[in-house]
Structure 1
């Protein structure tokens, strides 16, 4: 992210564009427009706060063609132009085609990658490999598979036994 921001700042400087703000939704996907900073940017554009939105690449603006078209149209109505620091897109008719192709490619890539990840997780799970986040208490990972951990499993067994006997949770925790 920092590298992308640096490239955008260099791009602005080389074109003598003054940066008045940064809108960064860290760790949020571009697949959705449900991004707080993105929405703030749209609101600020409406107030005529700036003339340009500079993105590292167009796929950083939106990952689907629909959102991209809707929000670029809104920005255009507000007198704001979206510029890509890495993609040389002009104002000629060919640029319309290029921009459309880049946006289509970004949407394709996002969907394709999502399908590949899901397929990989499903295949790993079918092989009995652990694919979730945190390892459950009482288990450990051995050769990508969950195995009972002889060190912590007795603790889990004691918790279940005490709970099944009617002991309150607070007493078990203490």
Structure 2
């Protein structure tokens, strides 16, 4: 059973790391690159990215991180020698959940609005769509990058605590 606890904790760490890395990539490369383009390019690129990201591989990491965190929390809490890892996993779960809530409340509604605004039949042009989208989306993405990175650090701490208890 200790192997299962360790594998679930590793899975939580890997999936959280993948999501943190994805958000980090947007913060340091994708959005700064798109900031140097025209309005239509940014709107078109983000609409295509938003459509492409909705796939099984993304969902495996994005949803998997939360599920593996929660499962690790339960498995570690039920095993006395592993309880030193419970605090960091609980912190990771809370931090990651905060990033999920931020995504649901800010990034996804902005993505949806951009999809509507970016259609050829939209009453506003790409400049207005960009103005309403870019700054709040980037700011929220920086925050979710920090939250996921902190969650990843907490899971690394949990791995060390779990290893020390073994």
TM-score band by shorter chain is under 0.3
TM-score normalised over the length of structure 1: 0.26
More strand per residue: 1 or 2? 1
Larger fraction in helix: 2
Instruction: Indicate the structure (1 or 2) with the bigger Cα radius of gyration.
Output: 1
TM value normalised by structure 2? 0.27
